[in-house]
A and B are shown apart, each in its own frame.
Chain A
Amino acid sequence: MNHRHLLPDEIDLLIDDEVGFGVAPLKAHIRDCDHCRAQVDDARRVLAALEEVPHFSPSHTFANKVMAQVPVFVPWHVTARDTVARWLPQSRSARVAVAALATSAASVLTVAILWIATQTDVLVLATSAAGDQIQNLVYNAGRDVLATVFGDQVFAIIQHTGTVGIAAALLGLVTTAGASIAGLRALAAVSSRRRA
């Protein structure tokens, strides 16, 4: 080692402050060799100068320009959490009071639901009445939609086929609408990927 000067790789090891068995002889060498010590010092000076080069600043409008092209979406669960947080009182005692009130209301509701569930006759009667109401509502709404979409004459033909015909026409309408929405979403996704 003492018979030759350091190679560039060895100078790099020293200026990177590497540790290990191979480095000790290099350090010993530069203690004795003025030429190599000057080389290492020189390299260190260059790197010190390099480490002091400043960061440059972009214009003061940089952040605004970036944010103008970054749409910020708030996920639904964050919106929901923020809404709840907004309604909750700030103080600890008020929060405890709200929690106690909510627990009481939930207990009363649970008891009421359990009581209704035990009244089988009432439950069957109420379910049947609600079922009839919903059936009528759906039938009337479907009839209105079909009459609006297909016109009175076509609707008269569909109506002639009875409930099955109306159901088939409604199913066709919903399927077509669903397929159209899915197609539009796929197109939007492709377009968005291309833009990205």
Chain B
Amino acid sequence: MPPALDLLNLPDADVVALAQQGRDAAFRELIRRYERPVFSLIYRMVRDRELAEDLAQDTFIKVLNHIDRYRPEFKLSSWLFKIANNVAIDHLRRRQLETVSIDGSPHAQTSDAIEATSFDVVGQQESALDELEARELGTAIERAISSLRPEYRSCIMLRHVEGRSYEEIAATLDLPLGTVKTYIHRARHELRTALEHVREGSK
């Protein structure tokens, strides 16, 4: 029996090193540290609790089964968020559940392309779930977040909920720094617009 370890006070890199040595408690500590942020990110992406839990499980299983490949120069949380974002985006693409923006594709360069990729503020599933989701999540901000494009949503969540820098988000999501800044800028603008009526009502 190895000596008891105070895992709670160890930095991530040390806990990962213990997991690489096959310590079951270290695996559980990593799950305990990141289950809520990872689950929250995915939940806000897919807006379905059961599905979010399945995808969060997939995320942890992928990461923990390849813990021997972890590189200490990369933050573990960034790796987890990267996988979490990928599984959520993959799922949304497969199921075509994406909520879409009135602004069209962020990659659209011409006015025709923007128009061709523009949709209503909410998708089909969104309109059906709209009120229920808003009530369930409780606040207008949650509703506003859920109306963002998935790409914007993950960027804005990592920036303002997880407190990541632009550079970290770019590395985590494998996006150019300029794209991350654009996504966050557009997401902020859409959030301000979406919340305008709430703020005006409260004035």
Contacts and interface: CB of A to CB of B under 8 A. Distances in A.
B43 A56 contact: yes
Contacts of B36: 55-58
A54 B39 CA distance: 12
Contacts of B1: 82, 86
Contacts of A54: 40
A193 B74 CA distance: 24
Given A57-B35, A72-B24, A66 B61 contact: yes
B39 A75 contact: no
Interface in B34-68: 35-37, 39-40, 43, 52-53, 56-57, 60-61, 64-66
Interface residues of A, number: 36
Contacts of A67: 24, 27-28, 31
Interface residues of B, number: 42
Interface of A, secondary structure class, is helix
A9 interface: yes
Contacts of A82: 1-2
B60 A73 contact: no
Interface stretch (A21-29, A42-50, A122-130, A178-186): A42-50
A45 B161 contact: no
Nearest to A52: B141
Given A78-B22, A82-B2, A58 B61 contact: no
Interface string A63-76: 10111011111110
A120 to B, nearest CB: 48
Contacts of B110: none
A59 interface: yes
19 contacts: A12-B185, A43-B188, A46-B191, A49-B139, A50-B145, A50-B191, A55-B40, A57-B39, A58-B36, A62-B31, A62-B35, A63-B31, A66-B31, A66-B61, A71-B65, A73-B22, A82-B2, A85-B2, A196-B65
